[in-house]
Amino acid sequence: MLSGICVIDFTQYLPGPFAALRLADRGAEVIKVESLTGDPSRAMGEGVFSANNRNKKSIAINLKDSDGTKLALELIKNADVVIESFRPGVMRRLGLDYDRVKAYNEKIIYVSLTGFGQEGEWARLGSHDLNYLALSGVLDQFQNDEGCPVQPSLTMADLIGGMACSEAIMAALFQRERSGKGTHIDLSIMDALFSMMATHVRLAAVSGDQHGLPFLNGSALNYHLYETKDHRYMSLGALEFKFWKNFCCAVERPEWVDAYPDKLSITEPLFLTLKQLFLTRTQKEWTKLGESADCCLFPVLNVKEAASSSYIMQRRLVHRFEQMPYVSTYQANKDLPTPPHGVPETGEHTEELLQGLLGKNKRQIKEWRERGVIL
């Protein structure tokens, strides 16, 4: 899909690398520009860096050196996309801001991915995933029985920000095909996350309900989580009448069908009866029933179980490179390319890119290495 598109990726940690990974999985050539010490996420354990930076080439450049800046500009000159995730003003100080880059490549699509955007009262404040979840109203949607917010183990804001970034880039590439013009995209992770709250904001204004649609927020017994005999959980999503009827018939309780739609609140006596029913079978038994009955009944799986499930295998969403599993971001495509580069070491492709892409000779490369311009 993006074969022939070249992306220069200056990002670190998670949101930007995830955005660039989504482009790489769609065929783009992604050149990851790292400092001489590498992306800081390399020091966060094997998972974070390797999961989000496979299928990329790494070049290590000292961007604080004038020659390093020139090399970066040469890389950008023939590229299609630049992604950076520094705080506002950093790329300008490095001489790599959009205005200067545009002078070298007027068709460049330049994305600045930050927490709060390039301008505004919070633009220069440090922030992380948990902060965006808290400020957006998303975290308030995850509460325990006491009404206290529960911290998710999935960095949703970072990932949603990355998805919004790759979406914006592909839209900009399409626009450029029509107009011939590049653009600067000011993309805020907070903005991307808050856009997920559209329904909740509208409902809060109309009805005052702060937690979304009542029949989706845990207050309906036909859309709920239930503990099983072996202390696992099942998700029941029998919202429509046909699915609720299928469930009732499958558990041989046809008299429950008439509870639809007005007597399905968790305040009804039926809720306790349903909880007790789920405790009579194991998760495996309930899963088998759900598959045969077509009643929107599926197990709550852990990560290992999900990654090895028949569905994930059939859809080829997990593939392996050098015995390690990788999750594809290129869903539902039978022609998923095998990663040609795996996970790069810091600066692994520096010499290859300088010689092959920029035409630099070995003598010049050696000199830069000795001066600390490149790794």
Q: What is the dihedral of CA 298, 303, 304, 306, to 10 degrees?
A: 30
Residues 126 and 15: their CA atoms lie apart, in Å, by 15
Residues 183 and 174: their CA atoms lie apart, in Å, by 12
Active site residue 97: no
Residues 10 and 33: their CA atoms lie apart, in Å, by 5
Q: Which residues contact 231 (CB under 8 A, 6 or more apart)?
A: none
Which of 158, 258, 262, 294 is an active site residue?
158
Q: Per the structure block, which two tokens stand in for 206? A: 């109309």
Among candidates 318, 314, 337, 327, which has minimal Cα distance to 1? 337
Phi, psi values for residue 9, rounded to 5° = -110, 110
E-only strand ranges, the chain:
6-9, 29-34, 57-60, 81-84, 109-114, 183-188, 223-227, 233-237, 297-299, 318-321, 324-327
How many CB atoms are closer than 10 A to CB 160?
A: 22
DSSP string, 343-370: SPPTTTTHHHHHHHTT---HHHHHHHHH
Among candidates 190, 181, 189, 214, which has minimal Cα distance to 80? 181
**Looking at the annotation, which residues are catalytic?**
158
